[in-house]
Structure 1
Amino acid sequence: MITRNDRQVSDRRAEKEAIEREIKGIRRAVLIVNTRSRRGAANWSEAKEQLLQAGIVLDGVYPVRNAEKLPDIVRDEIAKGQKLIIVGGGDGTVSSVARHFRDRGVVLGLLPLGTANSFARALGIPLDLQGAIDVLVDGKVADVDLGTINESHFVNGSSIGMPLIVGRATPHVLKKYFGRAAYALVAAGKFLRFKPFLCVVTASGVEHVFEALDVRIASGGYQGGVLVAREAKPDDGTIMVQILTGPSKWTMAKEWGRRAFGAPFGAANTVCLKAPEFLIDTDPSQHVSVDGEVITQTPVHARSC
């Protein structure tokens, strides 16, 4: 028996195949690069040349220094009927424009030119420029989930706690010259003043209460370029809330030390919950970041859409 959901999946698959054929047939795109991202200024011109050499006709090239203009440029190009819009930048860049692609029959092509590039890592996109362009030229169109924190969208993850504090305090110039190591340099100074907090997570009407050190709301499994939530998948219709628990910040130091060497968080100190949506509150109230950008404070409503 063919169900309604089966038909929806089949229709969506046919739509993706049609868009893919169209893109590969016309071989046209627009390139938009956030030159404030770590490798944006240094690589946008080379990205342009490599795309042209690969046979992609560029109807527009936008090296953008003011990131606030990115959503307007994307929206205008979608209105012109563009089918492939290539965006160069990091996780914050992608998060700022992703909502404009939702249900529009337009493909977002990604050049990972940021610091951590967690979204690209979750999708398996190569981090080198040539590898990422090869995916744009020869890859397939894929569906990924778009998450929301209140009314703000995210493509990879949202965080509460120490990673947010570090990300917020790490200056752009430090990330530009030291890459991911910049976060470790700032973390050393912030760690001694950090305190655990109470976190209440509600899913399907059930409350879960924790003494939390770090909370991650994940669509993808990476944070700061490190794999921290192997169970999170960017295309399964759910989001995952991962809570690092414990009364001592030294637990957090130990666990993030494990992650730095590629080991998973210890099961005894980690709780993972998966659902289409959550309500999350903390005491005291905590800042909440979306793909590295602080956008609100708890309480928040998180969902997959």
Structure 2
Amino acid sequence: MAHRTVAVLLNCSSRSNRAAQQRARLEALMKESGLDADLLCAEHGRLLGELARSAARAPYDLLVAGGGDGTVSTVAAAIAGTDRTLGVLPLGTVNHFAKYLGLPLALEGAVRTLVEGRRVQVDVGEVNGHVFVNNSTLGIYPGIVRAREALRERRGLNRWIALALSTLAGLGRHERVRLRLLLDGQELQLSTPFMFIANNDFKLGDLDLARQGPLGPGELGVCVAHAESRRASARLLASALAGRIQRASDFSVLRTSALRVEAPRRRLRVAADGEVLELSPPLCYRTRPAALRVLVPPSSRLGAGAGRREDLPARRAALEG
């Protein structure tokens, strides 16, 4: 696939030798592939969004996100709804979106996809104007994410060790949030320690929360835990790790085109693709069908209809109003 102009956006805040070696290897692979690409580095993660928006205004027809899901989400937000194409180089730890697209996780194969891949259009999710490509969470998980990053920064812990420690701390607090959900003409009142809203599948990292088929065009997946105690939350976590959470009686899975979340709080802590936000309710979730053009390998399971536009139900207007 021919591209007129290519920009590769990287989060260059890491000063480790490994990060420098990774950038050097990427430069060599891009040159070998015949792609004339500009490597654009954000020296701090918070500057990546500004860099992505600037690149989206420049005459690049392909913007490549080199990093993990947070980097991919930031670049996707800058070009969703435009005629720009997103390429992905999975340089992160989980690489959820890359796996969803069927991309090779090896850097050589991912670079090859930039040359040989085909364009498809996929949905993005949105909550109060913030775009996400994978999922958004409420309840204890945003706190776990924030605690995990603090442990990594302060103590230099491995990502998975930091996640385990922060998860145990989060379960110990057993924070619950009272919510009123409006979706598909239904009103649900609940108190929950965990709520998950999916844009593409029901996976949180490598945990499959529903073991259901992929979401259809213009569809969000909603998973809600009804655990009433720390012990019940621990049982749910054990069920998730064992791949049996979909059988749990205190865990609900729903599908909808839009979702309104109300809460008796001035601010809610919300995670969107790993970024923790403080948002004022109501939270208005929606899909933007086929809003993002992405490159996938020729063999990817995502077909021409993966992100096709459809007339969404009139209920969306009522939920967002």
Please report the TM-score for the alignment, with normalisation by the length of structure 1: 0.81
What's 1:109 paired with?
87
- The one-letter code sitting in structure 1 at the alignment partner of 2:181 is V
Deviations 1:135-159 (A, max 9, x none): 3232221211111111211111110
Q: Which residue of 2 aligns with 1:245?
A: 226
- In the other structure, the counterpart of 1:46 is 25
SS of equivalent to 1:114: coil
Greater displacement, 287-296 / 194-203: 194-203
Residue 272 of structure 2 corresponds to residue 295 of structure 1: no
Number of positions where the alignment pairs a residue of Structure 1 with one of Structure 2: 281
Offset, 1:256: 2.1
- Provide runs of 4+ in structure 1 moved above 6 Å: none
| 1:73 partner SS | helix
Partner of 1:72: 50
On the 8 A contact 2:224/2:252 being kept in 1, the answer is: yes
Q: Conserved in 2, the CA contact under 8 Å of 1:158 and 1:291?
A: yes
1:82-97 correspondence to structure 2 within 5 Å: 82-97=60-75
Task: Give, in angstroms, the shift of residue 107 of structure 1.
Answer: 0.8
1:214 is aligned to 2:194: yes
Q: Which has the higher helix share?
A: 1
Residue identity matched to 1:287: R
Asked if the contact 1:201–1:280 (Cα under 8 Å) also holds between the matched residues in 2, the reply is yes
Indicate whether 1:81 and 2:59 are aligned.
yes
Letter in 2 for 1:281: E
How far apart, in 1, do the equivalents of 2:102 and 2:110 lie? 10
Letter in structure 2 aligned against 1:29: V
DSSP-derived class of the 2:189 partner: strand
Residue 186 of structure 1 and its aligned partner are, at CA, apart by: 1.6
1:177 is displaced (CA, Å) by 5.2
Counterparts of 1:286 and 1:250 in 2: how far apart (Å)? 24
Q: Are the equivalent residues in 2 in contact too, given 1:200–1:282 (CA < 8 A)?
A: yes
Report the equivalent of 1:34.
11
CA RMSD of aligned residues (A): 2.7
> 2 CA distance for matches of 1:304 and 1:173?
33
Query: Structure 2 regions of 5+ residues with no counterpart?
Result: 289-321
1:109 Cα deviation from its structure 2 partner: 0.6
Give the one of 112, 116, 122 matched to 1:138: 116
* Aligned-partner Cα distance in 2 for 1:192–1:70: 34
Is 1:205 aligned with 2:185? yes
Q: Tell me how far apart the structure 2 counterparts of residues 143 and 244 of structure 1 sit (CA, whole Å).
A: 32
Comparing 285-294 and 139-148, the one that deviates more: 285-294
**Kindly tell me: are residues 171 and 72 of structure 1, through their superposed partners in 2, closer, same or farther at Cα, counting changes over 3 Å?**
closer
| Residue 178 (structure 1) aligned with residue 180 (structure 2) | no
1:278 counterpart SS class: strand
TM-score, normalised to structure 2, is: 0.77
Which of 93, 107, 118 aligns to 2:96? It is 118
- What SS is found at the alignment partner of 2:165? helix
Deviations along 1:121-143, one digit per CA (max 9) or x if unpaired, are: 33232333223223323222121
After the TM superposition, which of the residue ranges 233-242 and 148-157 deviates more from structure 2?
Answer: 233-242
Equivalent position SS for 1:183: helix
Q: Compute the displacement of 1:51 (Å).
A: 2.0
1:65-112 C-alpha deviation (Å, 9 max, x unpaired): 222332333333333321111111222222223222123211111112
| CA–CA distance in structure 2, aligned partners of residues 40 and 230 of structure 1 | 35
Structure 1 gap segments, 5+ residues each: 1-23
Q: 2:250 aligns with which of 269, 276, 286?
A: 269
Identity %: 27
Are 1:100 and 2:78 counterparts? yes
Query: Structure 2 vs 1, CA of residues 139 and 179 (structure 1 numbering), >3 Å: closer, same or farther?
Result: farther
